[in-house]
Amino acid sequence: MPNRPLKFIISGGGTGGHIYPAIAIANEIKRLHPNAEILFVGAKGRMEMTRVPEAGYKIIGLWISGLQRRLTLDNLSFPLKVISSIRSSYKIIKEFNPDAVVGVGGYASGPLLYAATKLEIPTLIQEQNSHAGITNKLLANKVDRICVAYDSMYKFFPNAKIVMTGNPVRQDIIELAGKREEAMTFFGLNPERKTFLVIGGSLGARTLNQATEKDLQKIQQSGYNLIWQTGKLFIPTAEAAVKEYAKDQFFASDFIKRMDLAYAAADVVISRAGALSISELCLAQKPSVLVPSPNVAEDHQTKNAMALVQKEAAVLVKDVEAGETLWDTAIALANDEDKQQQLSHNIGLLAKPHAAQTIVQELLKLIR
């Protein structure tokens, strides 16, 4: 270990599912080594360029994006973007001179990690999903360590490099005890009622939003509160819809920064099945109805969800059926205390509260 402050680059992003694990890793590095220097590298125009500075870290953006499934101008410029981003990555690494580089998936992590491996800098990637992302699969043979959250990842990665760590999540979600009263005040909800929480990921989820808007009257008649995270595109529609109902029963927002309070308030959660969402639900030990997004590579959200359903740790509603059955299923679960206790117990068994610590320990081993 060098006799000076350690330096790390953390790269990746695109969605909260990549960004928040990256920030959790950075926070753990800072906890262990307060003088460490940490630089993030993301993709220009993506949400990490806002969220990372909000968390107190510096970030540099690369000119990079993913391949679209149809022919677009973006696809035509893709090779140029890759070459430009690799060149920029070499420059960033040589100027910053990190002791190790971490990739969390997403567009920016590919060029940055590729350059780091060529420069023989210790590298670690963190794969959140049960089905590996294309960037991480391409990097697998080049990096030194691969931290995963699901069994059977040897299907995608060299077994000797894999370490089972779980997904790192925000520390405040691990510490929910005693926050319910604060949560009800924060969201302006009636504390006498139980509460549904609807989360569609950091960008929102059209299916969950449309099903919720359609059944607002049904939710109101159930006697439960609703905390509804919509994403930016749907918030005008949601705000107009909830105006019809009591303010102390329905809360809608495009983005919830205090997710710890949202989980503390929730009795039943309705969620997409992104890896980060599932890791948070395991730690929060919340009875959940999962609606996997069909619009993701290799249908990995369904695989994520089934890993819980097979252990009787969550309820599954298919995306195509959500419009008709989602809220009947959720309300039935909310009225079944025994089922809630079973789901809560079983999902809690899958939690890995020390994931960030384990990943950082692996990172520090590479430096030693």
Q: Which residues are annotated as a binding site?
A: 15-17, 129, 170, 202, 256, 301
Name all contacts of 214-218 with Cβ < 8 Å and 24+ positions apart: 214/323, 215/326, 215/327, 216/241, 216/242, 216/244, 216/245, 216/250, 218/327, 218/328, 218/331
Instruction: Please report, in range form, the residues annotated as the binding site for UDP-N-acetyl-alpha-D-glucosamine.
Output: 15-17, 129, 170, 202, 256, 301
* Dihedral sign (CA 122, 128, 130, 131): negative
Convert 126-162 to b/e letters by CB count within 10 Å (16 or more is b).
Answer: bbbbbbbbebbeebbeebbbbbbbbeebeebbeeebb
Q: Give the three-state DSSP class for 335.
A: coil
Count the helices and strands in the chain (H runs, E runs).
Answer: 17, 13
Distance separating the N- and C-terminal Cα atoms of the chain: 5
| Nearest residue to 157 (alpha-carbon basis) of 135, 172, 176 | 135
Find residue 123's DSSP bridge partners: 101
CA dist 71 and 192 (Å) reads 53
